[in-house]
């Protein structure tokens, strides 16, 4: 049996819809994997009552099927489902890494990204890699379908999680099918700025690189209190704010030393909008860790 700790992740980062992702140092799922005659799934922890235990509908179960590696898979959720923090991706990444080890399948982490993305397809209808890539590789990743580019990164972040659920499937339905050329130009500039910020561990550039005006406003409209929370975070010194993944989590880039203030301001912003929320003071972190 092996145990895998797989981190929460934040996808999109504003300007990299379906491409950019970052691993967070907390929260995380802990998944235990042991070979078995057929795959079974057990789920405990935060939001476990909403997670299917039928292997065909569970991201980890789908990964076991993809790898032809049946197993008893026990998932202890630290990452709430439908949060925008890559909850389903963490379970898929953990299962892929664990099964690869217990069955000695010989994949490297990059090859496991595509396998874990099949788990994402099962829950959202789309095999996006922008959460599973950082969950497996850590740091900052750009997943373009044909390749995954990766750099370690060290940037302070806050993620604020309102007591509200937004399913990825629903959040994908509000994404516009075409973009204005001015928005396109802004997004290209922001994406370049963000990559530079990640490479340089520069929170100013990272926050500036979140700016995007096509997908983010459509997603933000699904989050009660988003505008208020964004303004509060910026007033508290955040260098940029955007929707985390498909939402409803809200991500803020911070300078070292002001995460506590930003976190408190975001929780208060949600409270003023009548929404309970909790904030994680976090930073870019490592990919999934395996324990024998
Ligand atoms: N890129 C995906 C989306 C991530 O925003 O729909 C979902 O977690």
Instruction: Write out pLDDT tens, residues 208-261.
Output: 999 999 999 999 999 999 999 999 999 999 999 999 999 999 999 999 999 999
Predicted local confidence at residue 148, as pLDDT:
95
Confirm if 208 and 160 have CB atoms less than 8 A apart: no
**If you measure from the C-alpha of residue 124 to the centroid of ligand 1, how many angstroms do you get, rounded to a whole number?**
9
pTM for this entry: 0.95
Cα(284)–Cα(115) distance, integer angstroms: 23
Q: Is the CB of 246 under 6 A from ligand 1?
A: yes
Rg, C-alpha atoms of the chain: 18
Residue with tokens 């949060």: 83
pLDDT-wise least confident of 14-18, 68-72, 171-175: 171-175
Confidence band, pLDDT 50/70/90 cuts, at residue 288? very high
Looking from the CA of residue 171, the nearest atom of ligand 1 is 6
Q: For a pLDDT cut of 70, what percent of the chain falls above it?
A: 100
Tokens 């995007």 belong to residue = 212
Mean pLDDT to the nearest integer, 81-85:
93
CB 242 within 8 A of CB 12: yes
User: Is 32 touching ligand 1 by the criterion CB < 6 Å?
Assistant: no
For ligand 1, is residue 11 a contact (CB within 6 Å)?
yes
Cα separation, 240 vs 217, in Å, equals 14
Ligand 1 centroid–CA 1 distance in Å is: 31
**Domains, the chain, ordered by start:** 2-150+285-291 (3.30.230.10), 156-283 (3.30.70.890)
Q: Is the pLDDT of residue 127 over 80?
A: yes
Q: At what angle do helices 87-102 and 59-66 cross, to 10 degrees?
A: 30
In this model, does residue 77 exceed pLDDT 90? yes
Give residue 122's pLDDT band: very low, low, confident or very high (50, 70, 90).
confident
pLDDT at 42 over 80: yes
CB 81 near ligand 1, within 6 Å = no
- For the segment 27-50, the average pLDDT, to the nearest whole number, is 96
Q: Which residue CA neighbors atom 4 of ligand 1 most closely?
A: 245
Angle between helices 259-272 and 226-235 (to 10 degrees): 150
Examine residue 60 and say whether the peptide bond preceding it is cis (omega within 30 degrees of 0). no
Using a 6 Å cutoff on CB, does residue 128 contact ligand 1? yes
Average pLDDT of span 174-196: 97
Question: Considering only CA atoms, which residue is closest to atom 1 of ligand 1?
Answer: 18
Q: H helices of the chain, where?
A: 59-66, 87-102, 109-124, 132-137, 168-173, 181-200, 203-208, 215-220, 226-235, 259-272
- Tell me the CA distances in angstroms from 240 to 24, 48, 138, 212, one per residue in order: 17, 32, 21, 11
Among 55-59, 94-98, 122-126, the minimum mean pLDDT is found in: 122-126
Give the integer Cα–Cα distance in Å for 172 and 41: 27
Ligand 1 centre to CA of 174 (Å) is 12
Residue 91's pLDDT is 96
Ligand 1 atom closest to the CA of 84, numbered from 1: 8
Could you tell me if the CB of 168 is within 6 A of ligand 1? yes
CA contacts within 13 A on the Cβ side of 228: 13
161, β-bridge pairs: 278
Residue 82 scores a pLDDT above 80: yes
Q: What is the predicted pLDDT for the residue at 21?
A: 98
Residue 158 has pLDDT above 90, yes or no: yes
130 pocket-lining for ligand 1 (C-beta < 6 Å):
yes
What integer is the mean pLDDT of 142-149? 92
Taking CA atoms only, the protein residue closest to ligand 1 atom 3 is 246
Buried b (16+ CB within 10 A) or exposed e, 153-169: bebbbbbbbbebebbbe
Using the mean position of ligand 1's atoms as its centre, give its distance from the Cα of residue 148 in Å.
16
pLDDT at 110 over 80: yes
**Residues 6 or more apart from 181 whose CB is under 8 A from it?**
none
Is the pLDDT assigned to residue 124 strictly greater than 80? no
pLDDT in tens, 189-201: 999 999 999 999 9
Report whether pLDDT(84) > 90: yes
Which residue in this structure is represented by tokens 């709430």? 80
Of 206, 227, 205, nearest to 216 by C-alpha is 227
Query: Among 9, 10, 12, 123, which is best to mutate for testing ligand 1, by the most ligand atoms less than 8 A from CB?
Result: 12
């Amino acid at each position: 049996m092996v145990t895998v700790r797989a981190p929460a992740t934040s996808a999109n980062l504003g300007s990299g819809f379906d491409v950019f992702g970052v691993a967070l140092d907390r929260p995380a799922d802990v998944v235990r994997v042991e070979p078995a005659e057929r795959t079974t799934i057990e789920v405990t922890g935060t939001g476990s009552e909403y997670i299917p235990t039928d292997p065909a509908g569970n991201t980890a179960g789908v990964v076991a099927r993809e790898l032809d590696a049946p197993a008893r898979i026990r998932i202890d959720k630290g990452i709430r489902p439908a949060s925008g923090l890559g909850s389903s991706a963490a379970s898929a990444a953990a299962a892929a890494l664990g099964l690869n080890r217990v069955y000695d399948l010989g994949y490297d982490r990059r090859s496991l990204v595509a396998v874990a993305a099949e788990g994402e397809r099962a829950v959202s209808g789309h095999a996006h890699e922008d959460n599973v890539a950082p969950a497996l590789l850590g740091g900052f990743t750009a997943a373009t379908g044909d390749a995954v580019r990766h750099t370690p990164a060290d940037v302070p972040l806050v993620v604020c999680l309102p007591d509200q659920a937004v399913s990825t499937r629903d959040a994908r339905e509000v994404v516009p099918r075409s973009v204005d050329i001015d928005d396109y130009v802004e997004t290209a500039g922001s994406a370049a700025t963000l990559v530079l910020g990640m490479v340089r561990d520069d929170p100013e550039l990272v926050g500036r690189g979140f700016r995007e005006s096509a997908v983010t406003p459509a997603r933000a409209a699904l989050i009660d209190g988003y505008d208020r929370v964004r303004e509060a975070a910026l007033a508290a010194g955040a260098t940029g704010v955007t929707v985390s993944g498909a939402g409803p989590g809200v991500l803020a880039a911070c300078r070292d030393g002001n995460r506590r203030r930003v976190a408190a301001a975001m929780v208060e912003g949600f409270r003023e909008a009548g929404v309970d929320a909790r904030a994680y003071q976090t930073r870019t972190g490592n990919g999934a860790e395996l324990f024998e």
